[in-house]
């Protein structure tokens, strides 16, 4: 019931949301010679670096799974969406202060449009992952499991988690000016507190329990399930779902209660 009014407002203005998302994407690539191809070039360059480093220099797989390069690329691509969305949603109301103050659009719209724009960039980067997956399948290093069908579920869950975090952080950042800096520090720590470059199984048993409290852990399990099905951790996925829902509810409550104070500040 808490989420319904906010959800109805966003759905009612979905055409405006579509326009804002398109605007964000156009502005991001307007001055670029290759435009949207950067959504492929950037992750491709990053993936090639990981491929060279971990296939030919370190040649280590004990911290992850085989093929480790595929394992780490999945984690890094998903984290890029998480990192960029949290960074920008925490500043969403400040960045669009004039429009937030002067229009009657539902204020959560400014958070949702960031998550969707970054989500589209993430989806457009997936061909890079597909290319590496095909390469390793043809080499016989991995196979594609039917659990790859969990990828859309992971995308939806991550989007909901990011919306919840954005609704929580955006109004707080307006009132507490140091919040964006704190967010950047927490994200740097969060990269290593999330099983991106290592497998959850590599952590000590006590820390494996702590990882269940990180919602990205279960989401990453779903992204990787199509290539590493034997390591799918159902408790981690359930925990991610519960924490995502709680984050969305808490974010909605905080946003609604601070909305009037935010309008006074901006």
Domain tally, the chain: 1
* Closest among 186, 238, 232, 190 to 212, alpha carbons compared: 238
In-domain check, residue 1: no
Q: What integer pLDDT is reported at residue 200 of this predicted model?
A: 75
What sign has the CA pseudo-torsion 210, 216, 221, 227? Answer: negative
The tokens for 93 are 């109301």
Look up the domain containing 198 and give its range: 8-265
Q: Specify whether the CB–CB gap between 218 and 233 falls below 8 A.
A: yes
What is this structure's pTM? Answer: 0.85
In-domain check, residue 3: no
- Residue ranges of alpha helices (H) inside the chain are 3-12, 14-29, 38-52, 68-89, 92-95, 97-102, 109-139, 151-175, 179-192, 205-211, 215-224, 234-265
Cβ neighbour number for residue 168 with a 10 Å cutoff: 22
Q: What integer pLDDT is reported at residue 1 of this predicted model?
A: 53
Report the distance separating Cα 159 and Cα 167, nearest Å. Answer: 12
Per-residue pLDDT of the chain (266 residues; tens, 9 = 90+): 556 566 666 677 677 777 777 777 677 666 655 556 666 777 777 777 766 766 666 665 455 577 888 888 899 899 999 999 999 999 888 887 887 787 777 888 889 999 999 999 899 889 888 988 998 899 888 889 999 999 999 999 999 999 999 999 999 998 988 888 899 999 988 988 898 888 777 777 777 788 888 999 999 999 999 998 876 888 889 999 999 999 999 999 999 899 888 888 77
In-domain check, residue 101: yes
In-domain check, residue 2: no
In-domain check, residue 250: yes
Q: What integer pLDDT is reported at residue 259 of this predicted model?
A: 86
């Amino acid at each position: 019931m808490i989420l319904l009014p906010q959800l109805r407002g966003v759905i009612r203005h979905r055409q405006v949301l579509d326009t804002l998302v398109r605007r964000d994407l156009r502005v991001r690539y307007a001055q670029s010679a290759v435009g949207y191809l950067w959504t492929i070039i950037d992750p491709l360059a990053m993936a090639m670096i990981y491929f060279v480093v971990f296939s030919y220099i370190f040649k280590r797989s004990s911290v992850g799974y085989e093929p480790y390069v595929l394992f780490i690329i999945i984690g890094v691509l998903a984290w890029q969406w998480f990192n960029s969305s949290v960074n920008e949603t925490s500043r969403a109301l400040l960045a669009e202060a004039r429009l937030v103050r002067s229009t009657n659009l539902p204020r959560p719209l400014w958070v949702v449009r960031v998550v969707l724009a970054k989500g589209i960039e993430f989806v457009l980067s997936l061909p890079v992952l597909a290319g590496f997956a095909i390469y390793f399948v043809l080499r016989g290093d991995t196979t594609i499991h039917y659990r790859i069908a969990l990828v859309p579920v992971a995308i939806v869950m991550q989007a909901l988690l990011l919306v919840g975090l954005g609704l929580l952080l955006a109004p707080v950042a307006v009132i507490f000016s140091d919040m964006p800096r704190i967010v950047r520090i927490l994200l740097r720590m969060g990269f290593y507190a999330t099983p991106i470059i290592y497998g959850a199984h590599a952590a000590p048993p006590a820390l494996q329990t702590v990882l269940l409290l990180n919602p990205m852990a279960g989401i990453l399990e779903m992204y990787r399930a199509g290539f590493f099905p034997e390591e799918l951790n159902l408790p981690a996925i359930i925990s991610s779902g519960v924490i995502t829902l709680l984050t969305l509810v808490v974010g909605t409550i905080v946003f609604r209660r601070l909305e009037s104070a935010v309008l006074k500040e901006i």
